[in-house]
Amino acid sequence: MTDPFQIEAQGESEYVVRLRGDGEETESWFRVSPGLREELGLKVDDEELVRRTVRFLLGHQDPADFPDIVEIEDVVAGYPDYLDAVRG
């Protein structure tokens, strides 16, 4: 099964994510702060961190409800179960 979204790098630590849902496509920008992966103890690249974050968020909200800009640090702070989900 393929993901219902596409990720495209937009320079260093920024990614545009195009999500498909209910016949519509929405777009959100994801930002990964330098050093965040290491701080969180994750051994994945930034794009994989974004992919895991999108999958996690899709379990909590519809694609149409994604904000225009997603700061990964805000997701860490806002969801107590996020780190366990992206580490798994």
- Cα separation, 66 vs 11, in Å, equals 21
Is a pLDDT exceeding 80 seen at residue 88? Answer: no
What are the tens digits of pLDDT across the range 40-74? 888 889 999 999 999 999 999 988 889 999 999 99
Q: Which domain holds residue 17?
A: 5-87
Q: Which residue has the tokens 């149409």?
A: 64
Tell me how many domains the chain contains: 1
Letter for the amino acid at 8?
E
Q: Are 86 and 42 in contact (CB under 8 A)?
A: yes
- Closest to 14 in 3D by CA, of 51, 53, 47: 47
Q: For tokens 């994989």, what's the residue? A: 48
